[in-house]
Structure 1
Amino acid sequence: MQKHVPTLDIRRYETDRDGFVAELGAAYREYGFCGINGHGISPALIDDAYRVFQQFFALPLEAKQRYQIKGSGGARGYTAVGVETAKDSKYPDLKEFWHIGREIPRDSKYADVMPPNIWPSEIADFQRYGYGLFDALDRLGSRVLHALALHIDLPENYFDDKTNNGNSILRPIHYPPITQLDIPNVRAGAHEDINFITLLVGASAAGLEVLTREGDWLPITTTGDAIVVNIGDMLQRLSNHVYPSTTHRVTNPQGPDARKPRYSVPYFLHPNPDFLIETLPQCVTAENPNRYPEPILSHDYLMQRLREIKLI
């Protein structure tokens, strides 16, 4: 039987909570991925956000590079093609991207590690739709975390005060057309995400693949309004691998499709920078002893990982 990552309707959280939580938990334990529909994020907002992002990536390189902030690790603004490199990969990814972060008061205790956003003056409504999508995905991510908390016997709102100032990132990505044959680089090398959970808007184009437990690459594409949500390494660590952070990649298309651009917009939901990632006792058993006896602050973990993928 062909395996596939399930898609679940999050509205069932209100009407069939126990069933939804059980099915969601089972999907994440097996795949580390699940599609979520019925989320209520307006298709018009998604379309408008994609439109302004595509307008930005269509600007001349010189214009885009004005928004590249040296020494920031790409935390805000623009990062060009050929910079980010999957851990243990020889070749950088074939993608350029922009980072939008959480808006926080500049006198916040997190201001030194969460810089202000910058916005491209050339694109009208970039800020409106870009931050609108950030905010909508942040709220959806909190709803998914409510169900994930219940599945491992935590209070529903366990994550709320641990992510309300999370160093989360919306990352519009442009994978340019591939014009060279036999190029060793891929659009996104095999990797795991760093954060708690990732919400991906726009997995409609082929290319995203997930590595199954059996060692096979399983393609993921979505239909309708489904958003793909996957576990990141911070939540894998916190849950002692009850929730696995699954290796995934974006492959290069073959034939004429290689000459088409691809766009996607992941939202990386992070905990607050001073959150201590310490294994949850609910996730430690005789069969699954604590794999991480040494806790680590989420910001320190983030910096360690950004160095590995050559962003800092």
Structure 2
Amino acid sequence: MSPQIPTLDIRRLDTDRDAFVAELGAAYREWGFAGIRGHGIPAAQIDASYEAFKRFFALPEDAKRKYHVPGGGGARGYTPFGVETAKGAQYSDLKEFWHVGREIPRDSKYADVMPPNLWPEEIPEFREQAYGLYQALDQLGSRVLSALALHIGLAETYFVDKTDSGNSILRPIHYPPITTDDIPNERAGAHEDINLITLLVGASAEGLEVRSRKGEWVPFTADADTIVVNIGDMLQRLTNHVYPSTTHRVVNPPGEKARQPRYSTPFFLHPNPDFVIDVLPSTITPENPSRYPEPITAQGYLEERLREIKLK
């Protein structure tokens, strides 16, 4: 049998907490990935969000480019096709995307690194749909983090005041149809995520593959009611690799399926910009000594990584 990435029902966090925390922790220690169902985000809300996103990506190129911020590192608004490049990759990814960030008071201490959102005036419902999904995924991510905190011996509330102003991003992505058979690059090249955890809405479209500990590429096409949640590099660093940030990619589908567009929407959950990523003492053991003697702020780490993937 081929290996399988587990899918768990997060409602068990309330009804069968200890067993759920143990199973979720084991899934992340092995895979860095898990499917989460029972998340409570209505299918109708997700569908309405996708309709708004598809309407935006269907706009003429010059209309979309009005919302591109040169020098903004893709932090807000539109990033055109062929810009983002996986770390170390020769070719850029086959995608265009939009970034929605947290709405914060403009007198916030984080205002200099968390700019205001842009909203496409051509799609009036875009703002409500995108930010509603942002908030729903932010809440779900907090529940996942509370379970992971329990699994490594921290208080259930450990992450609450470290992510309440997190520089998190909702990224609606459009992978256009592939019209020739000789394209050398993948829709999204092999990479790891930068943030604490990523919640992916739309993993029911095939193409996502996860690299196992043995180096095999394992397809992970989730059921429509399942949100895929994976560990990012910040949480890997914080937990001294107890939770691995696993390499993954989006491959080009075979045959006629490649002629179809693909849409997906990851939510990258980040800590507050001034959170110091320093290895948790509970994750340091004689068998797993600290791999990161030097702490770094979340914002410093983010900027370092954005330069590597050519967004900054």
Shorter-chain TM-score tier: over 0.9
In the alignment, which residue of structure 2 is the partner of 1:23? 23
Counterpart of 1:263 in structure 2: which amino acid? Y
In the alignment, which residue of structure 2 is the partner of 1:206? 206
3-state SS of paired residue (2:40): coil
Are the equivalent residues in 1 in contact too, given 2:188–2:250 (CA < 8 A)? yes
Offset from partner CA, 1:172-231 (integer Å, 9 cap, x none): 000000012211111000000000000000011110000000000000011131100000
In the alignment, which residue of structure 1 is the partner of 2:219? 219
Alpha-carbon distance in structure 2 between the residues aligned to 1:262 and 1:31 = 25
Are the equivalent residues in 1 in contact too, given 2:100–2:131 (CA < 8 A)? yes
Alpha-carbon distance in structure 2 between the residues aligned to 1:175 and 1:2 = 28
Residue pairs, 1:1-312, within 5 angstroms: 1-312=1-312
Alpha-carbon distance in structure 1 between the residues aligned to 2:2 and 2:17 = 28
Offset from partner CA, 1:8-38 (integer Å, 9 cap, x none): 0000000100000000000000000000000
3-state SS of paired residue (1:112): coil
Alpha-carbon distance in structure 1 between the residues aligned to 2:180 and 2:63 = 25
| Aligned residues with identical type, % of pairs | 71
Counterpart of 1:81 in structure 2: which amino acid? F
Query: Offset at 1:42?
Result: 1.1
Alpha-carbon distance in structure 1 between the residues aligned to 2:124 and 2:271 = 31
Alpha-carbon distance in structure 2 between the residues aligned to 1:32 and 1:74 = 26
Alpha-carbon distance in structure 2 between the residues aligned to 1:113 and 1:144 = 26
Query: Offset at 1:52?
Result: 0.2
Offset from partner CA, 1:66-91 (integer Å, 9 cap, x none): 00001101100000111000000010
Counterpart of 2:205 in structure 1: which amino acid? A
Alpha-carbon distance in structure 2 between the residues aligned to 1:2 and 1:28 = 18
Counterpart of 2:132 in structure 1: which amino acid? G
Query: Offset at 1:127?
Result: 0.3
Query: Offset at 1:145?
Result: 0.3
Counterpart of 1:208 in structure 2: which amino acid? L
3-state SS of paired residue (2:166): coil
Give the gaps of 5 or more residues in structure 1: none
Alpha-carbon distance in structure 2 between the residues aligned to 1:281 and 1:36 = 28
3-state SS of paired residue (2:90): coil
Alpha-carbon distance in structure 1 between the residues aligned to 2:2 and 2:178 = 30
Alpha-carbon distance in structure 2 between the residues aligned to 1:16 and 1:258 = 42
Counterpart of 1:201 in structure 2: which amino acid? V
Query: Offset at 1:139?
Result: 0.2
Alpha-carbon distance in structure 1 between the residues aligned to 2:185 and 2:116 = 32
Number of residue pairs aligned between Structure 1 and Structure 2: 312
Alpha-carbon distance in structure 2 between the residues aligned to 1:156 and 1:222 = 27
Alpha-carbon distance in structure 2 between the residues aligned to 1:45 and 1:116 = 24
Alpha-carbon distance in structure 1 between the residues aligned to 2:249 and 2:109 = 35
Counterpart of 1:45 in structure 2: which amino acid? Q
Alpha-carbon distance in structure 1 between the residues aligned to 2:203 and 2:269 = 18
Are the equivalent residues in 1 in contact too, given 2:202–2:224 (CA < 8 A)? no
Counterpart of 2:151 in structure 1: which amino acid? H
3-state SS of paired residue (1:128): helix
Counterpart of 1:203 in structure 2: which amino acid? A
3-state SS of paired residue (2:263): strand
Alpha-carbon distance in structure 2 between the residues aligned to 1:203 and 1:80 = 22
Alpha-carbon distance in structure 1 between the residues aligned to 2:39 and 2:178 = 34
3-state SS of paired residue (2:81): coil
3-state SS of paired residue (1:25): helix
3-state SS of paired residue (1:144): helix
Question: Could you say what the CA RMSD is over the residues aligned between the two structures, in angstroms?
Answer: 0.5
Are the equivalent residues in 1 in contact too, given 2:190–2:248 (CA < 8 A)? yes
3-state SS of paired residue (2:265): strand
